[in-house]
Amino acid sequence: MPVDSTLAGTVLFGPLILGVYGVLPGVAGGVIATAIGAGATISGIKGIRNWWRLSTVDAVPLREAVAADGLVRIQGTVRPPRPGHTLVSPIRGEKCVAYEYNITRQVQGTGDPSIDAGIGCSPFIVADEMGEIYVDPMDESLSLDHEIDTVTGAELLEQVDQARLDLEPSAHTDSGLFNSPIELVEGTLGVGERVHVVGEAHTAPERGAADADAVMTPEEGHLIVANDEPESAALRTGARGLFLLVLGIAFSGIGLVALGSNLGNLVEILPVVGSV
C-alpha cells in the first residue's frame, strides 16, 4: 500500500510541477513587459512635458533670466567654459559640447539592425550681448536635431574613427556584417552654434562657472537643451513622447494581463502541489 500511495503521488506530482514550470515563463514575461511599459510610459510623459515647456515658456535675454522666478527659455552662442574643454563627435569628428549618434544597418526580415549608439555632453557657456550662463546638462537634457547619412560598410570604416566607437573587433567588411547599407545618424551641439535652453537660472556658485552670470543645471528644474528652433524641437520631442506613451501603455496592459492570468493559474496550482 505505501508503494501504491507513493506511486500515485508521483504520478500526480509530476504534471503539477510541469504546470508550475509552464506558468513561470508567463509570469516572467508579464513582469518584463510591465517593466518595459512602465519605463516607456515615464519617458513618454517626460517627452510630452518637454513639448509643453518648449512651446509655452517665454524667451528672455540672459540677464533677465537671472532675475526671473521659475522656468525661462534663453538663447545664445555656445562656447566651452575653458579652452579645450570640448568633445569630439564620433561620426563626423566635429568639436562640440554634446552629441548623440546611432549606427544601424538595413536588414531583411527579423534581426537586430543596431551596430552602435551613444550620447555624451559636457558643461558649456551660453552667451549673448548681455551676459553669460553656465549650463551643466545631463544626457536626458538633450533634444538634438540629427543629420542622417547612408553609406556602405567600407565607407563607414573609412569615414568613422573606430577608436571613438564601440564596434566589435569582428565589425569588418569581410565579416558580412556590413554587406547591407549602413545608416549614420548624429546630432551635435557645436562650438559657436546657436542653442536654446529651457531651465531655471540661479546665481548659486558652481565650480567652473566663476565667470558666468548664472548657472542652469537639471537639479534646479528640468533642463532642455535644443540645437534647433523651439518649434521644431517641441514637435520632435512631443511626437517621440506621444509614441513612447502609447507604446508604454500598450506594453503595460499586455504585461499586466499576462501577469494577472498566469499568477491566477499559479495560485490555483500551488495549494494542490502542497497537498501532494
**pLDDT tens, position by position, 133-180:** 999 999 888 989 888 888 877 777 776 766 656 555 555 444 455 567
**Interval 3-27 mean pLDDT:** 50
Residue 273 falls within a domain, yes or no? no
- Least Cα distance to 118 among 89, 96, 148, 159 occurs for 89
Residue 127 falls within a domain, yes or no? yes
Q: How confident is the model at residue 101 (pLDDT cuts 50, 70, 90)?
A: very high
Q: Which domain holds residue 122?
A: 59-229
Phi, psi of 72 (to 5 degrees): -140, 165
Highest mean pLDDT among 8-12, 101-105, 131-135: 131-135
For residue 174, what pLDDT is reported? 44
Residue 38 falls within a domain, yes or no? no
SS3 152: coil
* Contact between 217 and 84 (Cβ < 8 Å): no
When divided into structural domains, the chain yields a total of: 1
Tell me 55's DSSP state: H
Residue 264 falls within a domain, yes or no? no
For residue 120, what pLDDT is reported? 92
Residue 156 falls within a domain, yes or no? yes
Q: How confident is the model at residue 121 (pLDDT cuts 50, 70, 90)?
A: very high
* Contact between 223 and 198 (Cβ < 8 Å): yes
* Contact between 187 and 144 (Cβ < 8 Å): yes
Residue 262 falls within a domain, yes or no? no
Residue 235 falls within a domain, yes or no? no
Highest mean pLDDT among 1-5, 238-242, 265-269: 238-242
Rounded to whole angstroms, the Cα distance separating 244 from 246 reads 6
For residue 162, what pLDDT is reported? 62
C-alpha separations of 189 from 27, 109, 207, 228, 273 in Å: 44, 35, 22, 10, 61
SS3 138: coil
For 2, the grid coordinates are 505505501
Residue 238 falls within a domain, yes or no? no
Residue 130 CB neighbours (<10 A):
12
